[in-house]
Amino acid sequence: MDLSKVVEFAGNNGDVFTAQLVNFLRIKSISTDPKFASNVHEAADWLVAELKRIGLTNVVANETAGHPVVTAELIGGSDRPTVLVYGHYDVQPPDPMDLWDSPPFEPDIKDGKIFARGACDDKGQVFMHLKAIESYLSTGNEVPVNVKLVIEGEEESGSEHLAAFLEANRKLLDADVVVISDTAMFGDGIPSITTGLRGLAYVQVELTGPNRDLHSGVYGGAVDNPANALARMIAALHDDNNRVTIDGFYDDVLELSEDERATFRDLPFDADEWKRSIGIEDVRTERGYNILEAITARPTLDVNGLWSGYQGDGAKTVLPATAAAKISMRIVPGQDPDTIAELARLHFVKHAPSTMKLEFHKLHGGKPVLVNTAMPAMKAAARAMHDVYNREPYFTREGGSIPVVADFKEILGLDSVLLGFGLNSDAIHSPNEHFGLDRFSQGIETIIRFMHHFGHPEDK
Amino acid sequence: MDLSKVVEFAGNNGDVFTAQLVNFLRIKSISTDPKFASNVHEAADWLVAELKRIGLTNVVANETAGHPVVTAELIGGSDRPTVLVYGHYDVQPPDPMDLWDSPPFEPDIKDGKIFARGACDDKGQVFMHLKAIESYLSTGNEVPVNVKLVIEGEEESGSEHLAAFLEANRKLLDADVVVISDTAMFGDGIPSITTGLRGLAYVQVELTGPNRDLHSGVYGGAVDNPANALARMIAALHDDNNRVTIDGFYDDVLELSEDERATFRDLPFDADEWKRSIGIEDVRTERGYNILEAITARPTLDVNGLWSGYQGDGAKTVLPATAAAKISMRIVPGQDPDTIAELARLHFVKHAPSTMKLEFHKLHGGKPVLVNTAMPAMKAAARAMHDVYNREPYFTREGGSIPVVADFKEILGLDSVLLGFGLNSDAIHSPNEHFGLDRFSQGIETIIRFMHHFGHPEDK
């Protein structure tokens, strides 16, 4: 086989691949909002058709209790290693809508980037694997590894039914390694492979005071206000060192070694540029940790949503009956999402004022991840990246969560290679999410070369 | 003239009066929301037609830079005292809509009460004055006082254009006293006349951190979260004694005398019943003050609205770019709304974290009120209440604000008699606002008798 022909095919077909991606991105597959259930299904069906067209076999949109899991495979022979490609075809909600420069589901190509919800996370990235496979097949070559795909529709809403699906399909999904493109590179042109991910414990808290909204003049002064009370509770969740005050929160944290901290210091990270890119003047980290450590290797607590009372125009003089917050805790290796959610529950129960009724819900959770950098697939991935970028990739950690990585390890016994081509500036989960067409193209080439190196480790 | 015929007419026409009120309540005159501007105008036109039908003269819907002010008069002779009746035909927004048992603008009569937005505040109460006048005229009697009416459409959004209207129409509105029915009685069957009102300073605060919503995994840990930061700022607005921490906040407060505090203790107030009526177990007052003092004669600070980030279903892992709150301070005699709003602004500017950009807006304000209890109109009002309820009314304070009372004093030099028939349980500003038809009827009779006593102070 001639690898250069495969790479050349991919290079010559960038516009075709992009046009196909545009169609994929048009589908409003917002998994967390029940209103979009049929759109999520439509995206699964679209993928099934595309995978069949490319030439994969056993292509199925597997129904679950939630959204379908799409599976497919391409088995060349039992002498080849098997790669299980994981990705997701669902996307985050697009709001706030008014901050998008172009509609989130009408992809706009501008300045060499494609703007749309899901452009990077994760439709654009999972699609690179399909195009890598297509590049082999369309040039009359066999894919040098066996490939299995598992592409779910619930990643953005907690992958609720994926673990059960993995449990029920161990044999179908049997492989040597998982490959996932759903993370970011360290910087533009700076290749990296992610070796650590944070986990997540996401909860919702609601305080209820009076049995109805009250007139703030008639009752104000003696009725504890749920919005004020919730503000007190949220404020008290951090101490003066910006450490989380929940009892036991840090007990299981695997502290960074001095070596790891030294590696963090070596990374080409420009703090001023980072602050500029998100428009902030000052950071706020846990005392004693720098920005990179704080955003990738330390646990956090953030309010993701907050609401109470009147939010419309003008001045409504209401003393609201309820106030609520969505609160997520990013957790690090050593910590367990269920344990942390339970510690949070105990904290809220203990500290809720006697004037309030408390409701607490765990919305979802995911385990943190540490990847073994010595395994063959990691070496093949590093080599492929070096081929494309002409430099060694860094091994880095990321602050985000891909809870399924822990599931693959626990349920299928598989390690994961996190081969991502996003950038932190891609605005995933934000208005104007985008993906650079150069990285789309580099990603496809890297995956082509990864398949080659992993299938032929003896080759130069 | 035969007063009993007038009272009898009112008593016999309760059903007719109620049916008319239902039509008035159907009009969605929500002044604070620009979407309802035409409905507000419709309510003014409805009032004009009704006032003309009853027989008032010079009935005009006066255009202003905001919503119209309806005026009318009935002048019997220069030998009679002149009463200026003030009320408002606009209403609060009805949300949260899903907590209404019947639609807020489809009045529902149930258990002797009429349920609708504005039933008590203030359409139902201002309408009693019209029906009192109609009862005199329909029985062939002259109204024993000269009556002027000024009914505005912006009370619930800050009476922005009323002061200018009063300034421009001093002669038209010349009178001996203002009478306002927009307050509550001390309890059901316990008549009272309000002698003190709190004022209001209502502001909006917005914190902006990063220049866009961020992924809470990618950035969480180093980016100060506006929702968490706003919670800290709100929490810090009260100290451990539940006193407001804004510098200078209490400087101008006219402290209650020991006599006034003794009067507060004498009032037939059942704290347990009060708590039960709003479904709370525990109160939270400024240390050293009881419930009645805290809700009527002490200044407060309450969050009226709070919002940030994702409020939909499910778990969106966003680190929001902004967080905002509507915050109102009830102020007491001695305090000035502009001064307090400015002190609040200084407080927020001083305490905003270096990680945040702050926006601060004053939304509206109103002055507090203390009424002279010795004036003839107060005596006539007390006598009328005694006639109807067979007991002396209490002189009480209310925690709510009627900023125009201060305007009448400052601009027209007029004191106000606050002759209210609401109850604190009427759920004004809340879902299921209502007004008891018994109080509607008692209110009409009290106003008939007040007009009589004020016009004929020598009569028994």
Indicate if B199-253+299-366 has the same CATH topology as B3-197+368-455.
no
- A287: buried, middle or exposed (CB in 10 Å: 19+, 13-18, 0-12)? exposed
CB A394: neighbour CB atoms within 10 A? 20
pLDDT digits (tens, 9 = 90+) for A21-48: 999 999 999 999 999 999 999 999 999 9
DSSP string for A147-216: EEEEEES-GGGT-TTHHHHHHHTTTTT--SEEEE--SB-SBTTB-EEEEEE-EEEEEEEEEE-SSS-EEH
Interface of B with A in 290-319 (CB under 8 A): 291, 294-296, 298-300, 302-319
Q: What letter would DSSP give residue A99? A: G
Using the predicted structure, report yes or no on whether residue A118 has a pLDDT greater than 80: yes
Q: Which of B72-86, B126-140, B400-414 has the lowest mean pLDDT?
A: B400-414
What mean pLDDT, rounded, does chain B reach?
Answer: 95
**Structure-block tokens of residue B31:** 């002044």
CA atoms within 13 A on the CB side of A316: 28
Cα–Cα distance between B235 and A236 in angstroms, integer?
9
Q: pLDDT value at position A260?
A: 84
Residue bearing tokens 């407080």: B347
At residue B453, φ and ψ (nearest 5 deg) are -65, -35
Q: Do B235 and A236 touch (CB under 8 A)?
A: yes
**β-strands B394-398, B192-197: how paired?**
parallel
For the question of residue B90 being annotated catalytic, the response is: yes
DSSP B99-120: G-SS-TTS-EEETTEEESTTTT
pLDDT of residue B54: 98
Domain spans, chain A? 3-197+368-455, 199-253+299-366
Residue B460 has pLDDT above 60, yes or no: no
Mutate to test the interface with A, among B88, B429, B432, B434 (most CBs of A within 10 A): B429
- Please list, in sequence order, all residues whose beta carbon lies within 8 angstroms of the beta carbon of residue B262, skipping any fewer than 6 positions away: none
Q: How confident is the model at residue B281 (pLDDT cuts 50, 70, 90)?
A: very high
Secondary structure letter of residue A411 according to DSSP = I
Write out the H or E segment, with its range, that includes residue B138. Answer: helix B123-138
Distance CA A316, CA B428 (A): 12
Instruction: Please name the residue ranges forming H helices in A297-374.
Output: 337-351
Topology, domain A199-253+299-366: Alpha-Beta Plaits (3.30.70)
The stretch B49-53 carries a mean pLDDT of: 98
Integer CA distances (angstroms), A217 to A309, A438, B332, B450, in order: 15, 60, 11, 27
Q: Is B43:B24 a contact under the CB 8 Å cutoff?
A: yes
Mean pLDDT for B218-235 is 97
Q: Which of B122, B155, B398, B433 is catalytic?
A: B155
Residue B245: phi and psi, rounded to 5, are -90, 0
Enter the tokens of residue A453: 């190196």
Query: Higher confidence at residue A259 or residue A384?
Result: A384
CATH topology of domain A3-197+368-455: Aminopeptidase (3.40.630)
Closest CA to B20 of B444, B447, B449, B451: B444
Q: Which of B286, B307, B317 sits opposite A304 (nearest CB)?
A: B317
Is pLDDT of A460 > 70? no
Q: What angle do CA B281, B284, B286 make, to 5 degrees?
A: 155
**CA–CA gap between residue B412 and residue B171 (Å, rounded):** 9
Q: How many CB pairs under 8 A join A and B?
A: 365
Which of A421, A449, A450, A394 lies closest to A177 in space, CA to CA? A450
Catalytic residue among A155, A206, A293, A407: A155
Q: What is the mean pLDDT of residues A96-105?
A: 95
Q: Is a pLDDT exceeding 90 seen at residue A343?
A: yes
Please, which pLDDT band fits residue A372 given cuts at 50, 70 and 90? confident
Residue B29, CA distances (Å) to B43, B94, B159, B164 in order: 6, 11, 14, 21
A323 touches chain B (CB under 8 A): yes
Helices A123-138, A437-455: crossing angle, 10 deg rounding: 60
Closest by alpha carbon to A404, among A372, A455, A458, A365?
A365
CB contact under 8 A, A398 and B217: yes
How far apart CA A302 and CA A331 sit, in angstroms, is 12
Task: Say if residues A448 and A210 touch (Cβ distance below 8 Å).
Answer: no
Identify the CA nearest to B295 among candidates B259, B332, B326.
B332
Structure confidence at residue B416 (pLDDT): 95
CA atoms within 13 A on the CB side of A213: 26
Told to judge if A213 belongs to the known catalytic residues of this protein, a careful annotator would answer no
- Is it the case that residue A98 has pLDDT exceeding 70? yes
**Mean pLDDT of all residues belonging to chain A:** 95
At residue A439, what is the residue type?
R
Question: What CA–CA distance (Å, rounded) separates A415 from A398?
Answer: 17
Mean pLDDT of B41-54: 98
pLDDT in tens, A143-162: 999 999 999 999 999 899 99
B11 φ/ψ angles, rounded to the nearest 5 degrees: -65, -35
- Residue B266's pLDDT band (cuts 50, 70, 90): confident
Higher pLDDT, B10 or B195: B10
Residue B187's pLDDT band (cuts 50, 70, 90): confident
Note whether A271 contacts B: Cβ–Cβ < 8 A.
Answer: no
SS3 (DSSP) at B363:
strand
Tell me whether residues B283 and A225 touch, CB distance under 8 A: no
Nearest to B218 among A289, A295, A317 (CB): A295
Average the pLDDT over A271-279 and give the result: 94
The overall longest dimension of chain B from CA atoms, in Å, is: 83
Torsion angle of C-alpha atoms A45, A50, A55, A61, degrees rounded to 10? -20
Question: Do B221 and A310 lie within an 8 Å CB cutoff?
Answer: no
- What percentage of chain B carries pLDDT values higher than 70? 100
Nearest to B370 by CA among B421, B329, B332: B332
Rounded average pLDDT over B395-410:
87
Whether A235 sits inside 8 A of B236 (CB atoms) is yes
Under DSSP, is residue A103 helix (H, G, I), strand (E, B) or coil?
Answer: coil
Q: What is the pLDDT of residue B424?
A: 81
More confident residue, A101 or B374: A101
Q: What is the pLDDT of residue B312?
A: 94
Confidence of residue A281 (pLDDT cuts 50, 70, 90): very high
Q: 3-class SS at A86? A: strand
**Interfacial A residues in 340-369 facing B (CB < 8 Å):** 353-355, 363-364
Helix, strand, coil fractions of chain B, as percent rounded to 5: 35, 25, 40
Q: Give the pLDDT band (50/70/90) at residue B80.
A: very high
Q: What's the whole-number mean pLDDT along residues B134-161?
A: 96
Q: What is the reported pTM?
A: 0.78
pLDDT given at position B99: 94
> Which is the catalytic residue, given A90, A154, A156, A407?
A90
Dump pLDDT digits (tens) for A296-322. 999 999 999 999 999 999 989 999 999
Contacts of A399 (CB under 8 A, 6+ apart): A198, A295, A296, A330, B217, B218, B219, B220, B221
Q: Which of A185, A207, A218, A287 to mutate to test the interface with B (most CBs of B within 10 A)?
A: A218
> Taking 90 as the threshold, does the pLDDT of residue B457 lie above it?
no
Tell if the CB–CB gap between B429 and A317 is shorter than 8 Å.
yes
Q: Which residue has the higher pLDDT, B18 or B401?
A: B18
Residue with tokens 């994702």: B310
> What's the Cα-to-Cα distance from B235 to each of A232, A350, B242, B326, rounded to whole Å?
5, 18, 10, 14
Confidence of residue A2 (pLDDT cuts 50, 70, 90): confident
Picking from B234, B279, B294, the nearest residue to A210 by CB comes out as B279
